[in-house]
């Protein structure tokens, strides 16, 4: 690799750090102006940002190479002219050189008295340069030294980059070979499913033939190939998913093929390989993947006609996964964040400004980032020749800048444990605040959120694991309030009714002589609505609107289920509530189990919330065996939401923490007090069994290592109150040692 190419590539890599960060920040601002539902616009913006992040370093490298090449040409031209003059007139060359040197010496001798006179004037008047001038000179000298050091080590930077690209390319090649082998080993799917796939392809407007293959080596459907696309289908999906749900998943994969996502993803993977060191570009790439899945979700929902049914299909597919998730060039139906995707699919879109205005503002933001990045690149490149001449000869003559240590500010907001906010057209409100009695100088208050996927009807949802957040050290007498995580706005009944009133599907009755649109006819056909089904709904006492027929048919709401639910709750439930109950898997047996455990089952919303969180008979009996009974259904849901189970209670009891009430258990689990952490703290010397003290220690981030370091520094047998005061004041073992060494 030539020196010119290596130098240009090195500077391009360095400048790509701030250029990519600037582009990522511009993309973040642009995405704020576009609603979450505008997946296509967000995807286009992210792709444009990734392209911009690649173009800017390339332009920087090209410009750097052009300037270096021009300097070399000029130096060669000056050298050849000097040599030619010496050959034609050797005698004249020496006087010319002597004249130049004499001129420099003469200029220097004349400059000396002027400099002396200037210094005298300065001593008599302003006493030399000002502090601002000295700071400027020091900065210029530091920048010049930094650029010189970087220029001397550019080749090592390029070597490291080449090694990283080589390793990333090897891993990418291995994944590609594995994918090709999977495709070759897969066998053809049953003929009837190939026929269904062909029908879906025709409906989605695909002109290329798509093969459907099945394999035991994959656990999620994936789209592979560009010229000869293939859909890899796991055998478990064929046997474990209903036909309707599997069709929805196949529609998602066909959307990837129609949008040429496989080819775009390959280019994206190549960019990630080249910029493996850049977190901002990886974030932009992650946005592309997330919005790509959202775009295909929109296509699948449009093809199926029911968003809740599609969300259930995704969660059912996730429940069949047994292999660990691994990166792959293939397009998978479970790519991105599944809880976020499910929440986006089933929540009602909020009111946004005009999509055209938002898209225009977003494009303007990205273009503005380019307009800012280009001049900055030119400025930084020109500074390489402008800073060095102004640098002082020696840094010793300059006074060192004063160093000040800023006092630490207030700690950042804490986010502890999960709070469930499930939006399956449901608005459960499991929200609780962690409070500690005000007997310590630092009070911790936190409210938490966690994404939660929709559970299957007959499968109890697993407890959501508690997220262990990194706790900052607060100052004494500072109350750190938890910043709530952004969550979708729950749909209130009034809003739901207003949306239904505006929805033509809710106003159009089937069989009443009203004209049906093409979309309504397709939705009714896809849902399997028949004239018998219309009469059946009328016999159940519900108006056979298009919306009711489609929703209740997809959910499987039957007259028997409707009758049982109305009798259990003692009232006629609306169609929307019946659909929620059916989707959540609320059955008469489930209600009977709750009643036998002593819980009231009069509120369908509380029942839906408890079922969504995985509260079942086994969980209730396990808590009873652990000594917890007589709780309300809301308290039970709170315990289940943060992940309190009988095993957790038993593990705490083995460490001496027992006879806790519901609030204590909630606080301990939400702040991350685990049996493992508690055992380590016991080994470090903490013997307290007070749940409030344990919660406070965990919330402040006090770890066994902190205690051992204090012990080595001479502070032994500290109480909980003393530990809290030391941690809150920022006192650690290193601070203590430095104070002792200062004597």
Quote the CA–CA distance of 660 and 627 in Å, as a whole number: 10
From the list 510, 318, 509, 342, the residue with the least C-alpha distance to 426 is 342
Residue range 120-126: mean pLDDT, rounded = 47
**0.75 exceeded by the pTM?**
no
**Beta-bridge mates of residue 480:** 444
**Taking all residues of the chain, what is their mean pLDDT, rounded to a whole number?**
72
Give pLDDT, residue 183: 87
Residue range 16-24: mean pLDDT, rounded = 92
Residue range 227-248: mean pLDDT, rounded = 84
In sign, the C-alpha dihedral spanning 323, 328, 333, 338 is positive
| 623-651 as b/e: b if 16+ CB within 10 A | beebebeebebbbbbbbbbbbbbbebbeb
Give pLDDT, residue 110: 43
Quote the CA–CA distance of 70 and 301 in Å, as a whole number: 58
| HEC sequence for 226-237 | CCCCEEEEEHHH
Q: Is the pLDDT of residue 134 over 60?
A: no
Give pLDDT, residue 283: 94
CB 86 within 8 A of CB 22: no
Give pLDDT, residue 481: 36
Please name the residues in contact with 596: beta carbons below 8 A apart, sequence gap of 6 or more: 617
The H or E element containing residue 450 is none
At what angle are helices 338-346 and 307-319 packed, to 10 degrees?
Answer: 160
- Cβ neighbours of 196 (radius 10 Å): 17
The DSSP secondary structure of 368-423, one letter per residue, reads: HHHHHHHHHHHHHHHHHHHSGGGS-S-GGGSPPPP---PPP-PPPPP--S--B---
The H or E element containing residue 651 is helix 646-654
CB 250 within 8 A of CB 200: yes
User: Phi/psi at 127 (nearest 5 deg)?
Assistant: 55, 55
- Cβ neighbours of 384 (radius 10 Å): 17
**Per-residue pLDDT tens for 684-706?**
888 888 999 999 898 888 988 88
- Cβ neighbours of 620 (radius 10 Å): 23
Residue 333's pLDDT band (boundaries 50, 70, 90)? Answer: low
CB 446 within 8 A of CB 670: yes
Quote the CA–CA distance of 618 and 621 in Å, as a whole number: 5
Kindly list the domain boundaries of the chain, sorted by start residue: 156-352
DSSP 395: G
Joined together, the tokens standing for residue 238 give 């064929």
**Per-residue pLDDT tens for 589-634?**
888 888 777 777 778 888 888 888 778 778 888 888 888 877 788 8
CB 474 within 8 A of CB 510: no
Residue range 387-394: mean pLDDT, rounded = 40
Quote the CA–CA distance of 462 and 448 in Å, as a whole number: 18
User: Phi/psi at 367 (nearest 5 deg)?
Assistant: -65, -35
Residue 53's pLDDT band (boundaries 50, 70, 90)? Answer: very high
Instruction: Specify the higher pLDDT residue, 492 or 216.
Output: 216
CB 633 within 8 A of CB 455: no
User: Phi/psi at 36 (nearest 5 deg)?
Assistant: -65, -25
Quote the CA–CA distance of 666 and 652 in Å, as a whole number: 13
Joined together, the tokens standing for residue 434 give 């962690």
Residue 335's pLDDT band (boundaries 50, 70, 90)? Answer: low
Q: Is the pLDDT of residue 720 over 70?
A: yes
Burial class (CB in 10 A: 0-12, 13-18, 19+), 515: exposed
**Per-residue pLDDT tens for 150-208?**
667 778 888 899 999 999 999 889 888 888 888 888 888 888 889 989 998 998 888 88
């Amino acid at each position: 690799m030539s020196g010119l190419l290596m130098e240009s590539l090195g500077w391009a890599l360095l400048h790509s750090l701030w250029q990519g960060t600037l582009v990522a920040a511009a993309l973040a601002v642009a995405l704020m102006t576009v609603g979450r539902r505008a997946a296509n616009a967000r995807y286009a913006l992210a792709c444009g940002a990734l392209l911009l992040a690649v173009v800017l370093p390339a332009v920087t490298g090209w410009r750097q190479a052009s300037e270096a090449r021009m300097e070399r040409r000029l130096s060669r031209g000056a050298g050849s002219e000097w040599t030619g003059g010496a050959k034609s007139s050797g005698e004249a060359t020496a006087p010319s050189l002597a004249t130049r040197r004499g001129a420099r010496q003469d200029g220097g001798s004349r400059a000396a008295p002027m400099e002396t006179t200037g210094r005298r004037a300065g001593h008599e008047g302003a006493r030399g340069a000002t502090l601002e001038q000295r700071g400027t000179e020091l900065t210029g000298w530091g920048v010049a030294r930094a650029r010189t050091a970087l220029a001397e080590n550019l080749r090592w930077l390029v070597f490291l980059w080449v090694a990283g690209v080589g390793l990333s390319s090897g891993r990418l090649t291995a994944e590609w070979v594995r994918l090709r082998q999977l495709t070759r080993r897969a066998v053809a799917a049953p003929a009837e499913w190939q026929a269904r796939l062909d029908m879906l392809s025709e409906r989605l407007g695909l002109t290329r033939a798509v093969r459907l293959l099945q394999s035991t080596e994959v656990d999620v459907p994936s789209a592979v190939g560009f010229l000869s696309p293939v859909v890899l289908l796991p055998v478990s999906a064929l046997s474990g998913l209903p036909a309707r749900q599997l069709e929805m998943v196949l529609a998602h994969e066909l959307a990837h093929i129609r949008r040429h996502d496989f080819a775009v993803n390959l280019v994206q993977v190549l960019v990630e390989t080249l910029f493996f060191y850049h977190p901002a570009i990886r974030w932009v790439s992650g946005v592309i993947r997330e919005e790509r899945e959202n775009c295909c979700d929109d296509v699948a929902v449009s093809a199926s006609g029911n968003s809740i049914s599609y969300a259930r299909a995704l969660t059912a597919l996730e429940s069949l996964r047994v292999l660990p998730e691994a990166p792959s060039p293939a397009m998978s139906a479970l790519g991105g964040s599944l809880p976020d995707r499910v929440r986006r699919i089933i929540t009602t879109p909020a009111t946004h400004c005009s999509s055209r205005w938002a898209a225009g503002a977003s494009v303007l933001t990205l273009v503005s980032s380019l307009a800012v990045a280009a001049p900055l690149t030119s400025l930084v490149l020109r500074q390489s020749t402008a800073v060095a001449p102004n640098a002082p000869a020696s840094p010793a003559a300059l006074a060192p800048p004063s160093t000040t240590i800023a006092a630490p500010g207030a700690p950042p907001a804490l986010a502890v444990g999960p709070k469930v906010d499930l939006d399956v057209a449901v608005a459960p409100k499991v929200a609780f605040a962690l409070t500690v009695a005000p007997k310590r100088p630092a009070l911790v208050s936190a409210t938490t959120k966690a994404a939660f996927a929709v559970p299957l009807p007959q499968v109890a949802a697993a407890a959501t694991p508690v997220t262990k957040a990194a706790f900052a050290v607060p100052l004494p007498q500072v109350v750190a309030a938890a910043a709530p995580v952004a969550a979708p706005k729950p749909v209130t009944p009034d809003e739901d009714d207003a949306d239904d009133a505006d929805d033509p599907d809710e106003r159009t009755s089937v069989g009443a002589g009203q004209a049906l649109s093409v979309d309504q006819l397709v939705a009714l056909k896809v849902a399997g609505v028949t004239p018998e089904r219309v009469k059946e709904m009328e016999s159940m006492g519900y108006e056979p609107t298009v919306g009711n027929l489609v929703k209740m048919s997809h959910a499987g709401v039957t007259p028997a289920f409707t009758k049982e639910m109305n009798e259990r709750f003692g009232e006629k439930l609306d169609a929307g509530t019946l659909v929620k109950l059916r989707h959540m898997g609320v059955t008469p047996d489930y209600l009977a189990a709750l009643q036998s455990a002593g819980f009231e089952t009069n509120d369908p919303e509380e029942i839906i919330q408890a079922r969504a969180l995985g509260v079942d008979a086994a969980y209730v009996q396990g808590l009873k065996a652990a000594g917890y009974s007589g709780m309300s259904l809301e308290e039970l849901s709170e315990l289940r939401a943060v992940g309190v189970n009988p095993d957790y209670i038993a593990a705490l009891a083995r460490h001496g923490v027992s006879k806790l009430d519901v609030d204590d258990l909630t606080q301990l689990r939400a702040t991350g007090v685990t049996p493992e952490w508690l055992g380590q703290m016991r080994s470090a010397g903490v013997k307290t069994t007070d749940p409030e003290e344990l919660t406070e220690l965990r919330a402040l981030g006090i770890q066994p290592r902190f205690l051992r370091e204090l012990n080595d520094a001479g502070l032994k047998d500290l109480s909980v109150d003393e530990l809290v005061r030391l941690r809150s004041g920022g006192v650690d073992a290193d601070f203590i040692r430095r104070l002792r060494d200062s004597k």
